[in-house]
Amino acid sequence: MSGKVVLYYFDGRGKMESIRWLLAVAGVEFEEVFLTTRAQYEKLVNDGALLFHQVPMVEMDGMKLVQSKAIMNYIAGKYNLYGKDPKERVMIDMYAEAARDIMDMISMVLFTSPDNKKDELEKVQVKAKVRTLPAFEKALGASQFLVGNQLSCADVNFFEASLMLEEVFPTILSSFPNIQAFQKRMKAIPAISKFLQPGSQRKPLPDDALRKTAKEVLSHLFK
């Protein structure tokens, strides 16, 4: 087990996608077990594999890791994507959390009813344009990295978030040239270029089939 990284989640983005991104950027190969039935989830719980009865879960270095932020911090720390000192790490956390906030908002909207989706997407777009993107634009005007002088998980998280924003709002980055330049630099990194290719373990935006599967597997959350 210690030599193999295995991810337990749905065949979709959700809370696991940022973990996939970090592993890919770190050059770590991983396998995936996709949860498609309630029975699979219950077996993991009964076997004691899910500490808080939640997914995602990652088997790594002989451990069964849960809680997505803890998993990402572990990967970032292990593979030199988490700064050189506490001051850098807290700044990395601040930028990473802001990027994840945007991704979480988009993900939640994509799971809402069609009647509310348009209004909720507008709220996401306003927050991104007014609050989030200007802060990242300013940071990237001073350095090619968000924090310090090397790649960190904050860069990876924000790159993922910027691509997700463009999927939903294709022209949203048109007035943010530093972010556009940042995207170009990130895409030139071999591990990222590989992960962006068709056939990689990167997942598409969620669809109705994924929503149905998630509600079946985690039915206790939808009662």
Quick: pLDDT tens for 163-216: 999 999 999 999 999 999 999 999 999 999 999 999 999 999 888 888 889 888
pLDDT of residue 2: 54
pLDDT value at 1 more than 60: no
Cβ neighbours of 49 (radius 10 Å) = 15
The secondary structure element, H or E, covering residue 63 is strand 63-66
Burial of 67 (0-12, 13-18, 19+ CB in 10 A): middle
Token pair for 101:
């906030």
Report the SS3 class of residue 190: helix
pTM over 0.85: yes
109 pLDDT band, cuts 50/70/90, is: confident
Entry field: residues in the chain? 223
Long-range Cβ pairs for the range 217-221 (8 Å, 24+): 217/10, 217/35, 217/36, 217/37, 217/38, 217/40, 217/41, 218/41, 218/55, 219/38
